[in-house]
A and B are shown apart, each in its own frame.
Chain A
């Protein structure tokens, strides 16, 4: 099992350019997540997908869109990149269907995409 894979590993964009970050998991997990990590800020949730066919906003969704293409894949799109979106982006997945209450589910993380917007 590869676990959670992300492409690309590194990317440099100019302000205003668009790009899609790809994420796939081979663990047959139901839920998937996109986070951004900035120095001193921890991880902040951008969007998540509680099950195939659903997506919801997290803490910092502005400037991003997501697509849950199928059960395995969850992509993150920047339509018009801004320097404030320079960050490391992590995709994660977990087994359970999210039902609204507290979850004990372990999240499994990909290796990350380091994005720089000039």
Chain B
């Protein structure tokens, strides 16, 4: 079985502040992990993915995530938030053929 837990349905930050979105996974086999972003009224698009090549993964728009096996975590970070980062973010795990998504975290960015 595979599952993902995203801590916090909403996260609020000020523009320029650090962004930290938390993701913990459960998997019976070594997983691959993904972060997707959804802007209002759009479909999801890939931010970054962990494919076991490197534990620190860099994605688009300045985001990165670190795979920590001992903590079963794959938290998403960005050093400095922009207003354009306001969106919903989904962590997902692939232990089998298909993806299992977390419930999502809405990132709110204030000026």
Q: List the interface of chain A (C-beta within 8 A of B).
A: 4, 33, 40-45, 48, 50, 58-59, 90, 92, 98-104, 106-112
Contact = CB atoms under 8 A, between A and B. Distances in A.
Interface of B: 9, 29-32, 34, 41-46, 49, 51, 90, 94-104
Contacts, number: 68
B79 to A, nearest CB: 25
Contact of B43 (A98, A100, A101, A110): A110
B30 A102 contact: yes
Nearest to B27: A102
A77 B46 CA distance: 27
Contacts of A112: 41-43
A45 B90 contact: no
24 contacts: A33-B98, A40-B9, A40-B104, A42-B101, A43-B44, A43-B90, A44-B101, A50-B97, A58-B98, A98-B97, A98-B98, A99-B97, A100-B96, A100-B97, A101-B29, A101-B96, A101-B97, A102-B29, A102-B30, A104-B51, A107-B44, A109-B44, A111-B41, A111-B42
